[in-house]
Amino acid sequence: MGITITVNGLKMCYETQPVLDGTNFEVQKGDMVALLGANGSGKSTLLRCISRVLKPSQGDIFFDTKKSQHMSTGEAARTMAVVPQEANTDFE
């Protein structure tokens, strides 16, 4: 089981600083991927765009053949799971 993730022409800026500029790739079902790069190179931004935490300024993200932005919140939750690097809690 699994899905194919396709990223086409993804662009994302913080204020006027571009972080992602025309990013394209595809991860096939069953692939194992490592995301490597220097600090500030856009790794976390890319993952936040894929997980719908951030909305890219341009480009499309597909889960199999369905555009991420056309998925309901429930459908997206059934399609992917995210384990953040850091989690803040409001209790001791």
Q: How many domains does the chain have?
A: 1
Which residue stretches of the chain have pLDDT < 70? Answer: 1
Q: Is residue 48 part of a domain?
A: yes
Q: What is the pLDDT of residue 1?
A: 64
Range of the domain at 34: 5-79
Contact 61, 49 (CB under 8 A): yes
**Separation between Cα atoms, residue 62 and residue 71, nearest integer Å:** 10
For Cα atoms 86, 91, 92, give the angle at the middle one, nearest 5 degrees. Answer: 90
**CATH, residue 47:** 3.40.50.300
Q: Is residue 86 part of a domain?
A: no
Q: Is residue 91 part of a domain?
A: no
User: 74 by DSSP, 3-state: which?
Assistant: helix
Q: Is residue 13 part of a domain?
A: yes
Q: What is the pLDDT of residue 16?
A: 86
